[in-house]
């Protein structure tokens, strides 16, 4: 019997509001302004004009929608089965489920990414809620971050559930 764990993203309300307004503005530009300016062209050139001017705005619309959906409504869903773990991302565009097989995972760890060292320096992540921890799978000496930016207690709950099912 598989175990399902749902982890809700922490919503950044500033990003949600700003991108929501950006989505409304881009919708207005695509549907109203470009349509009205395109009507001045002849029949065949109307289509070319509309497509050529709409494409950049549509690209930004998709980018804003991608970030806004994940930030506002995103959830990571872990489905823990005896031989594999499936990670699904709800409300994230263009994301397919990832499957990790038990025999390919060497170790399960919890890492704190409050201080992250890079080749060119150090980056500090400050979180008032303490959401700087990640559940990490070690596979062939590579770290695979399965769930990011959760609290220490939530990370231990998730790893305990995985270890109960697998070991």
Taking only the tens place, the pLDDT of each residue in 105-156 is 999 999 998 888 888 888 887 777 778 999 999 999 899 999 988 999 999 9
pLDDT of residue 53: 87
pLDDT of residue 35: 82
pLDDT in tens, 16-64: 999 999 999 999 999 998 888 877 777 777 788 888 889 999 999 999 9
CA-CA distance, 158 to 167, in Å (whole number)? 14
How far CA 77 is from CA of 87, 88, 110, in Å, comes to: 6, 5, 18
pLDDT of residue 121: 87
Domain boundaries, the chain: 3-9+78-166, 13-73
**Torsion angle (degrees, nearest 10) of CA 6, 11, 17, 21:** -40
**Residues sharing a CB contact under 8 Å with residue 85, sequence separation 6 or more, in sequence order:** 78, 79, 99, 100, 102, 146, 162
Tell me which H or E stretch contains 153: helix 152-166
pLDDT in tens, 78-94: 999 999 999 999 999 99
**Residues sharing a CB contact under 8 Å with residue 67, sequence separation 6 or more, in sequence order:** 15, 19
pLDDT of residue 46: 78
Write the DSSP symbol of residue 160.
H
């Amino acid at each position: 019997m598989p175990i399902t764990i749902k982890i809700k993203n922490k919503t950044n309300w500033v990003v949600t509001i700003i991108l929501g307004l950006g989505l409304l503005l881009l919708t207005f530009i695509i549907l109203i302004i470009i349509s009205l300016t395109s009507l001045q062209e002849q029949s065949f050139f109307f289509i070319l004009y509309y497509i050529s001017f709409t494409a950049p705005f549509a690209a930004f619309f998709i980018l804003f929608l991608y970030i806004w959906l994940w930030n506002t409504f995103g959830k990571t869903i872990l489905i823990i089965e005896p031989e594999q773990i499936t990670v699904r991302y709800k409300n994230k565009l263009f994301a397919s489920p990832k499957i990790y097989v038990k025999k390919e995972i060497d170790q399960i760890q919890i890492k704190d990414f409050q201080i992250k060292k890079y080749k060119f320096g150090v980056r500090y992540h400050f979180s008032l809620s303490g959401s700087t921890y990640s559940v990490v799978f070690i596979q062939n000496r590579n770290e695979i971050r399965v769930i990011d930016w959760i609290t220490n207690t939530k990370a231990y709950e998730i790893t305990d559930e995985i270890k109960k099912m697998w070991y």
